[in-house]
Structure 1
Amino acid sequence: MNPDSSPPSPSPGRPGRIPRRRIHRAIFVVAGIYNIAWGLYAAFDPQWLFRFAGMPLANHPPIFASLGMVVGLYGILYFEVARVPERGWLLAAVGLAGKILGPIGLFVLLWQGTWPPATIVLCLTNDFIWWIPFALYLRDSWPFFRRSLAES
């Protein structure tokens, strides 16, 4: 391997440690707790969003309950990122992708007039508030992910 093409040292001051490690760990613990709590709530009360937004109740509430299950499972993955932040880039990237794609889907529903504006609450708490902390984590953890790719 050419020395000039090797990935940069992950953290000049502390080799092997991600920058802002304590902050990233705390954020992903909070994200894990939040996602599991939201997922459980959605599973136990799958009609909450429809009532909140003044929409007709869903004909098939298990679909929304299943969404809650998926969101809750993301919480477990966020705990893994918090446990070893140096190895969580891919998990967090998938999480951020979902947090970007979800609002795009909601925007389409709003644009088409299928869902009312009150449903944006779904993206305020599940998506938008996590964009900056997840993006910062991805930037800080990128050298670790890049190095793992080079080693495999």
Structure 2
Amino acid sequence: MRRRRMHRAVFAAAGAYNVGWGCYAVLDPQWFFRVTGLPLSNSPQIFACLGMVLGLYGLLYFEVARRPEAGWPVAAVGLTGKILGPAGLAWLIATGVWPAGSVVMIVTNDLIWWVPFALYLRDAWPSFRATLTGPAGPGR
């Protein structure tokens, strides 16, 4: 696989970031609301649950770092979320539901990962495709 060492480093960093972010969100689910000036949540458990999910994504990213040839589906789902999250936030900001300052979360959670995840998907596709077809061909 092209750039295998780089992809392993990127996904190890993404794993560490997500686990760290997730743990912090579970321990302090009101941080985002304080930082952005939004009213504190009446149900911080929802943000804590988001932290748990993002932390679990981190474990999946560690697996991609361990075996990059097999990580295409995880990375594809991860990048899809990293695209849809900012789209949803753009809608919340455009409609005035959330302040523009809430962009801080999207920059580090999503935008910085777009290029490395997309590059990985491009480089990993031939390796992953080979696992789908195998020596017996598709569906055999």
1:53 maps to 2:36: yes
Aligned to 1:71: 54
Kindly state the Cα deviation for residue 31 of structure 1 after the two structures are TM-superposed.
0.4
- 3-state secondary structure, aligned to 2:91: helix
Q: Which amino acid aligns with 1:55?
A: L
The TM-score normalised by the length of structure 1 is: 0.87
Aligned to 2:11: 28
Aligned to 2:133: 150
Kindly state the Cα deviation for residue 20 of structure 1 after the two structures are TM-superposed.
0.6
Percent of matched pairs sharing the same residue: 63
Aligned to 2:102: 119
Over 3 Å off, 4+ runs = none
The TM-score normalised by the length of structure 2 is: 0.94
Q: Considering only aligned residues, what root-mean-square deviation do their CA atoms show, in Å?
A: 0.7
Number of positions where the alignment pairs a residue of Structure 1 with one of Structure 2: 135
Q: Which amino acid aligns with 2:100?
A: P
In 2, the alpha carbon distance for the partners of 1:136 and 1:144 equals: 14
* Equivalence map 1:3-14=2 (5 Å): none
- Give ranges in structure 2 of 5+ residues lacking alignment: none
* Equivalence map 1:85-100=2 (5 Å): 85-100=68-83
In 2, the alpha carbon distance for the partners of 1:28 and 1:55 equals: 32
In 1, the alpha carbon distance for the partners of 2:29 and 2:101 equals: 16
Structure number with larger C-alpha Rg: 1
Larger % of helix: which? 2
